Structure 1
């Protein structure tokens, strides 16, 4: 049986995904792509470092799942699904099963090895990308990086513009308005890794993720027809997308969709930004300015007098990582980074220009206004 391997490499952190199912490694290469320098490597070259081994095997899944349920175990929520966990104290091995997704896991934190076994290729591929990212996150955090809840774009000089705010504040709107109007490169949609550099600055690298883009923003960016054509030709957006959004896109319905007060959004693969929409991606930059937006549909873009500074809530700490708690022992520390690192980053970013702004639904007006304010 042929084994396929894809190596991820970002800011000195390296991890490799191995699988006999080429669809799994293809998914990994596509998901991390340029952002994390995902490259195919000979499987025999993988002899050191962190490894994620992914298998599509019903019998192996059944055996591991049965083992977990027959041993003392606990139950938690992981990636919005129930996860049963069993810990072997003597060896440190962690076994887990997600019955709803038919996925099983075996983690050896001390050896840097994680196995993912499932019954469906797409489910295994999705889980593999998520957990390979967690493996790399752990390496970066232990190497002095921290994780911010922010979007980021980078200009031709490597200056990174960071945008902060809670869900719905306008992080994605800000980032895409700047890339659409002023040829900036997209570095991240929702989270970024940051680390103090050797001088007084802050280095920034991406956190690869599917991007949630509201239907109204899809229309404002001029992307609606592109998405329809791609879907009609057989391509797909990220599988986490609600089927009601897919149906609306296919039917040409562009009004925002809501469910219990939450907007349902299109879920865009990282590689689709460039392939579908011509938005180039950036692999890193140096923090240059901070933007704190809020959206007001009928307003004109304007700068506010509100003073906004960074706080603990802007870092992806354990308290804000409830969807992906460190149940597999991959991080070994707080999910947002060491407190001393976060404090130093907050201090350095606090010295950069801050812009509290009101944005509208007009992408062109937003992009031109923001470009003047941040100097791009």
Structure 2
């Protein structure tokens, strides 16, 4: 699929998401763009025209990407306007062509990357892939998939392995499908959430703080409190009101390589499953347990509702893939080695343990 724009800010933004993990490249001048197309322009006049069109026809109000969205459907496609962001969408050809326009660069860049990723997700799901809620690190082409509920250690495990020479494939979710003789895994490009405590434990806190002080930026979805804490040298976790959700550092995909020196993987073959548990007082070790892949380890429309398919991109397929694809993957994952592990707060010991475990696969 292709992203086109009248400003380099938009295409550069897409390249930051998709270049490291989905092999994005510059389209040569004069090339014919085959497949799905996103045209995303800074164009106040087109925004005004679409907003006026929407206001003149019956429409409904909903929410998309945490913003108010006005939505109308006609015989050719779908028109939508986010008035708070001054951002407009026009989706045609059954979601195969989406035009985005806005007054300012950042809203249209965010929207273009989001829509482009959803288009590719839809194409992969239609081709029989499914989505796992798992982190993944790859060594010599072999992917170690890590499962668990929030706080179990999925991101910690993946980043520890990436800090010791493995390639980071994903910190939260992966595409997976049985291809030929292998369970192939692909990354899900997105900003990665890393807690302040984990960032400090990995020895990356000062790297981020120095970059911010030099005028560089993390992902704009990061809460300002997190940025302020980094600049002030605060290393303890920050919590949203109520204390149920941690506010984390939001890292662009390319910053793992440029800031942290971690190599990113574009694919791998599933070799083993890891189910960690964090115990601050424990030494890292294999433990007894019977945890295996469960229905909740697969992403679905219900768990992907932050970006509901308002623009007809998925063409009715579930946001996590078909039931048949999930069942096939679950059966094949069940045949792979399963490791229940406990990880403590000694980062070096954890990394050594995980490296030895991955080398033994």
Same fold (TM over 0.5): yes
- Paired residue for 1:29? 15
Offset at residue 189 of structure 1 (A): 1.3
Work out whether 1:280 is the aligned partner of 2:244: no
Task: Extract unaligned runs of 5+ from structure 2.
Answer: none
1:152-185 deviations in whole A, cap 9, x for unaligned?
10002x000011123222110000111113x100
Q: Give the conservation status (yes or no) of the 8 Å contact 2:162–2:262.
A: yes
| CA–CA separation in structure 1 for the residues paired with 2:279 and 2:189 | 29
1:109-149 deviations in whole A, cap 9, x for unaligned?
43710011112101111111111000111111111111111
- Paired residue for 2:79? 95
The match for 1:327 among 299, 310, 329 is 310
Q: Give the conservation status (yes or no) of the 8 Å contact 1:18–1:43.
A: no
Work out whether 1:353 is the aligned partner of 2:334: no
The match for 1:55 among 27, 41, 52 is 41
| CA–CA separation in structure 1 for the residues paired with 2:88 and 2:64 | 12
Work out whether 1:196 is the aligned partner of 2:178: yes
Name the SS of the counterpart of 2:17 in structure 1: helix
| CA–CA separation in structure 1 for the residues paired with 2:226 and 2:272 | 34
| CA–CA separation in structure 1 for the residues paired with 2:63 and 2:282 | 40
Q: Give the conservation status (yes or no) of the 8 Å contact 1:187–1:206.
A: yes
Q: Give the conservation status (yes or no) of the 8 Å contact 1:164–1:292.
A: yes
Work out whether 1:83 is the aligned partner of 2:69: yes
| CA–CA separation in structure 1 for the residues paired with 2:88 and 2:283 | 51
Offset at residue 43 of structure 1 (A): 4.7
| TM value normalised by structure 2 | 0.95
Offset at residue 296 of structure 1 (A): 2.5
| CA–CA separation in structure 2 for the residues paired with 1:292 and 1:70 | 54
| CA–CA separation in structure 2 for the residues paired with 1:298 and 1:238 | 34
Q: Give the conservation status (yes or no) of the 8 Å contact 1:109–1:329.
A: no
| CA–CA separation in structure 2 for the residues paired with 1:212 and 1:179 | 15
Name the SS of the counterpart of 2:53 in structure 1: helix
Work out whether 1:69 is the aligned partner of 2:55: yes
- Paired residue for 1:6? none
Offset at residue 232 of structure 1 (A): 1.3
Work out whether 1:166 is the aligned partner of 2:149: yes
The alignment yields a C-alpha RMSD, in angstroms, of: 1.5
Task: Extract unaligned runs of 5+ from structure 1.
Answer: 1-14
| CA–CA separation in structure 1 for the residues paired with 2:122 and 2:205 | 37
Work out whether 1:242 is the aligned partner of 2:242: no
The match for 1:313 among 285, 292, 296 is 296
Name the SS of the counterpart of 2:176 in structure 1: strand
Q: Give the conservation status (yes or no) of the 8 Å contact 2:95–2:312.
A: no
Instruction: Number of aligned residue pairs: give it.
Output: 357
- Paired residue for 2:236? 255
Offset at residue 319 of structure 1 (A): 1.0
Q: Which runs of 4+ in 1 moved over 4 A?
A: none
| TM value normalised by structure 1 | 0.91
1:296-324 deviations in whole A, cap 9, x for unaligned?
23332233322112222211111111101
The match for 1:343 among 327, 338, 342 is 327
Offset at residue 16 of structure 1 (A): 0.2
Change (3 A) 1:75 1:360: farther
Change (3 A) 1:75 1:227: same
- Paired residue for 1:10? none
Work out whether 1:216 is the aligned partner of 2:200: no
Q: Give the conservation status (yes or no) of the 8 Å contact 2:95–2:313.
A: no
The match for 1:373 among 354, 357, 361 is 357
